[in-house]
């Protein structure tokens, strides 16, 4: 039984695509610049 009553799988994929792209961009930035991950802990102390 589904939680959504109408709409296709394509609607779900289209709705989640921006979040997947944002997650992949974040992973790419962390891979290219790993210092980003440690910036806030370094500022805090």
pLDDT, residue 2, reads: 65
- What is the Cα Rg of the chain in Å? 17
Domain boundaries, given as residue ranges, for the chain = 9-44
pLDDT digits (tens, 9 = 90+) for 1-45: 567 778 788 988 999 999 999 999 999 999 999 999 998 889 998
Which two tokens mark 11?
């609607």
pLDDT, residue 7, reads: 79
Which two tokens mark 44?
């805090």
DSSP secondary structure letters along the chain: --S-SS--HHHHHHHHHHHHHHHHHHHHHHHH-THHHHHHHHHH-
pLDDT, residue 43, reads: 92
Which two tokens mark 17?
């695509």
Report the predicted TM-score, pTM, of the whole model to 2 decimal places. Answer: 0.69
């Amino acid at each position: 039984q589904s939680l959504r009553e109408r709409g296709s799988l394509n609607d779900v994929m289209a709705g989640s695509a921006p979040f997947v792209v944002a997650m992949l961009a974040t992973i790419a930035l962390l891979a290219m610049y790993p210092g980003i991950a440690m910036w806030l802990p370094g500022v805090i102390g």
